[in-house]
């Protein structure tokens, strides 16, 4: 991933501009810096990032292929609303891969693996105490990546990461829910406890329940913020008229 400040330095090192712009925009969308339904302007993005319109346009096409951007002819380009079916599909991929890796992990986990996982749990609990959901989310990702690595499938985490962009937007929206982070930390702890005991069935049950928590959370979030959700037949967002100051 790359920040806007780091984009020019990365270009100087020879990295492809389109890939850099794509990674930056994808990170902003998945991280909710660009909210569902937000309008996207090629000109504005190109000016902000200090690049031509071509890599921005190509990046938006790639993001559209992922379903993260919607293009409406004669109206504009917008960050896609969260589609519940896309969340379900992403969860299916994630659950299948993580549970398969966990089965191998139970048989292979050593004392050092358990200590590393518990260190991540301690960091998650500390992030919750500080009221720092961004750090919690990062450590949550590290925890699940480490779980897959314990089973010898660390390289497969990139596959999970690519598949779960829609899921991650829903997960981020769920973090402010009351007592959500403490619940997730406890669910992580249940997985590690079972892993340490060598209890494959218990570990799978705990992880499956944890991963499916997002379904209940999506319903709660959708009730509170229906404007962030949509389907294939959802009407396009309305582009807000530009003010006189924006035209200057």
Query: Does residue 91 share a domain with residue 214?
Result: yes
Instruction: Give the CATH number for residue 42.
Output: 1.10.10.10
Query: Does residue 67 share a domain with residue 54?
Result: yes
Query: Does residue 115 share a domain with residue 24?
Result: no
Query: Does residue 89 share a domain with residue 66?
Result: no
Asked if residue 188 lies in contact with residue 203, where contact means CB atoms within 8 angstroms, the answer is no
Query: Does residue 69 share a domain with residue 9?
Result: yes
The model's pTM is 0.84
Query: Does residue 95 share a domain with residue 61?
Result: no
The DSSP symbol for 82 reads B
Query: Does residue 98 share a domain with residue 37?
Result: no
Asked if residue 109 lies in contact with residue 144, where contact means CB atoms within 8 angstroms, the answer is no
Query: Does residue 164 share a domain with residue 64?
Result: no
Query: Does residue 115 share a domain with residue 57?
Result: no
Q: State residue 175's pLDDT score.
A: 93
Instruction: Give the CATH number for residue 112.
Output: 1.20.120.530
How many domains would you assign to the chain?
Answer: 2
Which residue segment(s) compose the domain that 94 sits in?
Answer: 84-226
Q: State residue 16's pLDDT score.
A: 86
- Alpha carbon of residue 136 to chain centroid: 13
Q: Which two tokens stand for residue 100?
A: 């398969």
Q: State residue 7's pLDDT score.
A: 58
- Cα 107 to Cα 151: distance, rounded to the nearest angstrom: 8
Annotate 121-176 with three-state secondary structure.
HHHHHHHHHCCCHHHHHHHHHHHHHHHHHHCCCHHHHHHHHHHCHHHHHHHHHHCC
DSSP string, 22-70: HHHHHHHHHTTSS-TT-EE-HHHHHHHHTS-HHHHHHHHHHHHHTTSEE
> Which stretches of the chain drop beneath a pLDDT of 70?
1-15, 232-248
Per-residue model confidence as pLDDT tens digits over 45-98? 999 999 999 999 999 999 999 999 999 988 899 999 999 999 999 999 999 999
């Amino acid at each position: 991933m790359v920040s806007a400040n780091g984009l020019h330095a990365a270009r100087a090192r020879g990295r492809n501009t389109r890939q850099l712009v794509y990674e930056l925009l994808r990170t902003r969308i998945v991280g909710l810096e660009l909210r569902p339904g937000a309008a996207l302007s090629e000109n504005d993005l190109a000016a902000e990032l200090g690049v031509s319109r071509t890599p921005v346009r190509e990046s938006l096409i790639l993001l559209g292929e992922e379903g993260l951007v919607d293009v409406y002819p004669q109206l504009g380009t917008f960050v896609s609303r969260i589609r519940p079916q896309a969340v379900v599909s992403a969860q299916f991929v994630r659950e299948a891969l993580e549970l398969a890796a966990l089965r191998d992990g139970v048989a292979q986990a050593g004392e050092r693996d358990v200590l590393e996982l518990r260190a991540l749990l301690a960091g998650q609990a500390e992030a919750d105490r500080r009221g720092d959901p961004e750090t919690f989310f990062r450590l949550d990702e590290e925890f699940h990546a480490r779980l897959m690595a314990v089973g010898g499938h660390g390289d497969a985490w990139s596959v999970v990461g690519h598949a779960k962009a829609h899921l991650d937007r829903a997960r981020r929206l769920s973090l402010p829910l009351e007592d959500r982070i403490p619940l997730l930390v406890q669910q992580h702890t249940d997985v590690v406890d079972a892993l340490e005991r060598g209890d494959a069935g218990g570990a799978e049950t705990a992880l499956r329940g944890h991963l499916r928590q997002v379904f209940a959370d999506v319903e709660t979030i959708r009730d509170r913020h229906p404007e962030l959700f949509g389907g294939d037949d959802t009407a396009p967002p309305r582009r807000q008229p530009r003010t006189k100051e924006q035209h200057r």
